[in-house]
Amino acid sequence: MRKNTIEVFLNEEYGYKTWIWRPNMNEEEFVSWWQNLTDSDIIKYFFNIKALPGTLKEYSERSPGGSAVGREYGDPKSHRPYYYCHFHDVNDSYICVGNESIRFISRAKYDWKEHWFDYTSKRQKSKIIQ
């Protein structure tokens, strides 16, 4: 792991699971990576969060109280992480660097579920052809 990698608090699907994510990127690389993701990337990670670059460690600490306000359900109440990711689907995923929020911009012209169906169908067809 690189020395200057950031640590991101990741909220998966409104507190379904929460993670400490070390993407093996610095801040600039992380923002650039996020802004260059495709709809297929988001869908792939949505169905397999462990496919994200770097390492994930499940966050299990649940600290009651605290003065900080979480961004989403399931966030820690004891602190507000500087690097943050809410990961859900193509219409509801974003990162935060401090107070700056950067939403994922969907580039697909159709519903993400149809996009996922197309993606999985193509993968299954390529496996049959091989």
Q: Give the pLDDT confidence score for residue 73 in this predicted structure.
A: 77
Mean pLDDT of all residues belonging to the chain? 82
The domain locations on the chain are 8-129
Question: 67-107 pLDDT, tens per residue?
Answer: 456 678 777 777 788 999 999 888 889 999 998 999 998 87
Q: What would the mean pLDDT of 61-65 be, rounded to a whole number?
A: 55
* Cα–Cα distances in angstroms (integers) from residue 120 to residues 29, 40, 113, 127, in the given order: 29, 10, 11, 11
Q: How far is CA 53 from the centre of its chain?
A: 10
Report pLDDT digits (tens) over 27-37.
999 999 999 99
What is residue 84's predicted lDDT score, i.e. its pLDDT? 94
DSSP assignments along 22-42, one per residue: E-S--HHHHHHHHHT--HHHH
Question: What pLDDT does residue 104 have?
Answer: 92
Sheet holding 94-97, edge to edge: 55-58, 17-22, 8-12, 83-87, 94-97, 100-103
- pTM score: 0.74
Type and span of the H or E element at 8: strand 8-12
Which secondary structure element, helix H or strand E, spans residue 97, and what is its range? strand 94-97
Is the model more confident about 97 or about 43? Answer: 97
Q: Which residues touch 68 (CB under 8 Å, ≥6 apart)? A: 76, 77, 78, 79, 80
50 and 56 Cβ atoms separated by less than 8 Å:
yes
